[in-house]
Chains A and B, each alone.
Chain A
């Protein structure tokens, strides 16, 4: 039996004005377990807290009920008081007789009667309280960043700067991501490579950072602080540590007609290749699908010319196991496929391109060395039409695009249009838009400059169709302001394709038990207050894997994710919330109902041996809750048919005791 002390607070006149506090403390004296009951003006004051501490000592109290304001207000305070008095802090219950009683009821008899009932419920509950101790788990002081674009790079650099080791896993042969493919960046027009490549070098040179390029995450086990990850290093047939990146092999490789994915297939590369000059790691990779030596054993030229002897045709995929305390997802985005948008003739004409292709076309390191030339005949275009919102903001039932706004297109299209007019003032540039969305620092000014200083023709309306005719592209569009249908003979049409999360995100989310929305963007733990954390503890989100983002936003989110990771890794031990679920294995059926409703993947199963009454043993599958992962929602307790699953702090018998006390 508990020895319960009841402390009724007046809260000045806040409670005492509508509740007869004397009557409440008097009435609660007779409740089971109560050995002491009193009231005081301000229970939360130092004097009030001292009163509690003294009473604990004097009456050997094992449980405390404070009838006062909301537990959301002072539960923590009184728990500390209890701890200071040598009690377990979880032996405190609060009866909310201010917000939910004295403040909402007018007359004293009603208020007093309800306060007594609320007090009784709290006493009934505290009688069944058990001391709780938060669980502790160690933290592996190493972080994993999945994805080596600007988001992953920035996150890794920030974590490494704080002194923690970080591994980056990138599926491409080099880090850099989409930003490495861009020409200039809005709204300042600095060149993407000039600001990105130094960061890539920083990554390569940072002692705390390891890069696993041309690699994928193949398995994730464990939980916050203790992830166990298997990384698959795909065979690149070049010894990374020996290759100097001299490029002799690339030059000699006879297989030179492989579409170059870095330039989106607008030119060719060789079978052994380095994606671009500033690649990190600057190491060659052999594409096994096009290398003659790997396909049929004939060639081997690259091995002959490699002075360092780095080529190894027998290299196999390698699996690496590593432990991490935190995982950052930075898997990024891709433009959607234009296959379903026949009206723009993307697949019919080479001169209809996406904006990312346009970036490569204007990039000095791109297939045209930065000269704006039409992909079909290399002529310089005189009329360019930009189409916005291609596949963005589509109705779900239209089934070919995305429902959301891709966010970055308005700004990069303004940038493209402006750059064209700047370099080639005799080119006519049309931008067809539905809305121009420019929230961001210096964004609208940038767009206005495109119109006012550079003379880009912005037309409110959508392009209906693009038809190749001769060497022209017939563009039919509406001008909603002037109320006419426009027919433009264009030389180049640029589509602002919607962006979508990378395809690797979905299987990764499954491995992480991290939740995703219907568009395959990762869900954040709270849309406003915890935007860089996944609901799964220890998993953080960086960049466009969480939603469409531009570079400044990505970088700031990357930094925020890094600071969350640093905060986690700085701890030696993780102290959990002790109000977590636990399973009584004697009653557990192993039916998996609880596991299915757990939003955190905190429940696993193990085969356990039980001794039966007849001295035989029996092996049964039983649920096990990982207290470091459980957040204490209690969904599992209701899903469990046998009642084996219960929740600390809100146990079934405690809640039923409260119900009984109220319904007496």
Chain B
């Protein structure tokens, strides 16, 4: 629990988000294009970070399903900016030793005619430290 408290504060500080401003309207999740891919949805990120329930988020695939399209940031009526929280949690996850989501070795397997090179590069940047 102590650990979670520390983690919570770190995530809040790094993201610069104040989850207390959330009025639980769910507009972030309503606007999210990756909703169906995600286990935890944007509004749940806000709520779970606020309550310090961070371990499930750290271990969730949802971290990598967020497209960083920032629709939730744009639409949130309270200025909470959920995507920044997702980003901060993702950073906490991949910063751990050996927790890179992608390594250089993974890249060849992902190569595909259809995939824009830029996508790979940005994914590589985003998913590893």
> Would A343 and B77 be within 8 Å (CB), given that A434-B23, A461-B25, A478-B26 are in contact?
no
Cβ of B23 and Cβ of A461 under 8 Å apart? no
Q: Which residue in B21, B26, B80 is a CB contact (below 8 Å) of A462?
A: B26
The residue in chain A whose Cβ has the minimal distance to the Cβ of B33 is: A476
Residues on B with C-beta less than 8 A from A476 are 30-31
**A481: nearest chain-B partner, CB-CB:** B26
The answer to whether B79 touches A389, judged by C-beta atoms less than 8 angstroms apart, is no
How far apart sit A397 and B78, CA to CA, in the bound complex (Å)?
8
Selected from B23, B71, B80, the residue in CB contact (under 8 A) with A464 is: B71
Q: Mark B91-117, 1 if CB is under 8 A from A, else 0.
A: 000000000000000000000000000
Which one of B28, B36, B71, B79 lies within 8 Å of A398 (CB-CB)?
A: B79
Are the CB atoms of A485 and B78 closer together than 8 Å? no
A478-B43, A485-B36 given; A461·B30 CB < 8 A? yes
Residues of A within 8 A of B27 (CB): 462-464, 478
Q: How large is the interface on A (under 10, 10 to 19, 20 to 34, 35 or more residues)?
A: 20 to 34
Could you say which residues of chain B place their CB within 8 Å of the CB of A461?
25-26, 29-30
Please name the residue on chain B nearest to A480 by beta carbon: B26
- Contact of B24 with A by CB under 8 A: yes
For the complex, give the distance between the alpha carbons of A343 and B76 in Å.
Answer: 11
B35 partner residues in chain A, CB cutoff 8 A: 478, 485
A485 partner residues in chain B, CB cutoff 8 A: 29-30, 32, 35-36, 41
B126 within 8 A of partner (CB):
no
Chain B residues whose C-beta falls within 8 Å of the C-beta of A107 in the assembled complex: none
Q: List 21 A-B contacts (CB under 8 A).
A: A343-B75, A395-B76, A395-B77, A395-B78, A397-B79, A398-B77, A434-B23, A461-B25, A461-B26, A461-B30, A462-B30, A463-B27, A464-B27, A465-B30, A465-B31, A465-B71, A465-B75, A478-B27, A478-B29, A478-B35, A480-B29
Is A401 an interface residue, CB under 8 A from the partner? yes
Binding site for B on A (CB under 8 A): 343, 389, 393-398, 401, 434, 460-465, 476-478, 480, 483, 485
Minimum Cβ distance to chain A for residue B65 (Å): 13
When A464-B71, A464-B75, A485-B35 are in contact, do A395 and B30 touch as well, CB less than 8 Å? no
Q: Which of B24, B78, B79, B80 contacts A480 (CB 8 A)?
A: B24
CB distance from B17 to the nearest CB of A (A): 12
Contact in complex: B26, A398 (CB < 8 Å)? no
Q: Find chain B residues with CB under 8 A from A477 CB.
A: 30
> A343 and B23 in contact (CB under 8 A), knowing A389-B77, A464-B75?
no
Assuming A434-B23, A465-B75, A477-B30, what are 10 further A-B pairs, CB within 8 angstroms? Answer: A343-B31, A394-B78, A395-B78, A398-B77, A434-B24, A434-B26, A463-B30, A476-B31, A478-B29, A480-B24
Q: Output the least CB separation between A450 and chain B (Å).
A: 20
Contacts of A394 in B (CB 8 A): 77-78
CB B27 to nearest CB in A, in angstroms, measures: 4
Q: B79: which A residues are within 8 A, CB to CB?
A: 395-398
Report the bound CA distance from A478 to B79 in whole Å: 18
- Do B77 and A464 touch (CB < 8 A)? no
Residue of A nearest to B76 (CB): A398
The residues of B that contact A460 with a CB separation of less than 8 Å are 26
Residues of A within 8 A of B26 (CB): 434, 460-462, 478, 480
Q: Is the CB of B25 within 8 A of A389?
A: yes
Q: Distance in Å from the Cβ of B40 to the closest Cβ of chain A?
A: 10
Residues of A within 8 A of B32 (CB): 464, 485
Within 8 A of A (CB), among B28-67: 28-32, 35-36, 41, 43
Q: Contact at B23–A393, with CB atoms within 8 Å?
A: yes
A394 to B21, CA, bound (A): 10
CB of B29, distance to nearest CB on chain A (Å): 4
